[in-house]
């Protein structure tokens, strides 16, 4: 049995030494023309990079543009938290239910942003007071 298995796998990974490579290559229809290939392999220009970044506008990356006014930049975090808390206020929740929601969701909303960026102390205080007032 062992001999059969060894022969099978040694035959499986052995080449039959084909000789008609040119004929096989000619049979494959190319999808990329020579002109396309030279365009794709040429060195990129700064203008091309700028144009590509501008085309990504609605889905731009990486992360928020942290400029001079960080309060405006991170205001989306505050709005998202306020939206969640407003939706929960409409529901009748026990004290334990509120605590679970705060720990599981409300504190998780700003956690990622805070792990990547130093948010302004004033915004941190606002987020904390929003959670406390809930």
Kindly compute the dihedral angle of the four CA atoms of residues 125, 130, 132, 134, in this order, to the nearest 10 degrees. Answer: 180
Residues 51 and 77 in one domain: no
Distance CA 88, CA 101 (A): 9
Tokens read off for 75: 């205001």
Contact 107, 130 (CB under 8 A): no
pLDDT mean over 70-92: 76
Residue 96 C-alpha from the chain's centroid: 34
Among 23, 38, 58, the domain-final residue is: 58
Tokens read off for 77: 């975090």
Count of structural domains within the chain: 2
Residues 101 and 50 in one domain: no
Residues 53 and 11 in one domain: yes
Question: 100 pLDDT exceeds 70?
Answer: yes
Residue 48 belongs to what domain range? 2-58
pLDDT band for 64, please (50, 70, 90 cuts): low
pLDDT band for 118, please (50, 70, 90 cuts): confident
In a domain, 9, yes or no: yes
Residues 52 and 75 in one domain: no
Tokens read off for 122: 């004033």
Closest CA to 50 of 35, 60, 42, 39: 60
Residue 73 has what pLDDT? 73
pLDDT mean over 35-54: 84
Helices (H), the chain: 2-12, 21-27, 34-41, 46-55, 70-73, 75-89, 95-101, 111-116, 121-133
pLDDT band for 65, please (50, 70, 90 cuts): low
Question: 55 pLDDT exceeds 80?
Answer: no
Question: 3 pLDDT exceeds 80?
Answer: yes
Residue 128 has what pLDDT? 82
In a domain, 49, yes or no: yes
Residue 62 has what pLDDT? 53
In a domain, 128, yes or no: yes
pLDDT mean over 60-86: 71
Residue identified by tokens 């306020």 is: 82
Q: Is the pTM of this model over 0.75?
A: no
Question: 2 pLDDT exceeds 60?
Answer: yes
């Amino acid at each position: 049995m062992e001999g059969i298995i060894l022969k099978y796998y040694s035959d499986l990974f052995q080449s039959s030494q084909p000789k008609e490579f040119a004929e096989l290559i000619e049979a494959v229809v190319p999808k990329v023309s020579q002109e396309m290939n030279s365009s794709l392999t040429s060195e990129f220009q700064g203008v091309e990079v700028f144009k590509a970044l501008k085309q990504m506008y609605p889905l731009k990356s990486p992360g928020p543009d942290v400029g001079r006014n960080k309060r405006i930049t991170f205001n989306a975090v505050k709005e998202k938290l306020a939206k969640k808390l407003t939706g929960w206020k409409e529901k009748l929740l026990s004290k334990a239910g509120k605590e679970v929601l705060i720990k599981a969701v409300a504190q998780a909303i700003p956690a990622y942003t805070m792990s990547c960026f130093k948010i302004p102390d004033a915004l941190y205080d606002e987020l904390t007071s929003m959670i406390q007032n809930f």
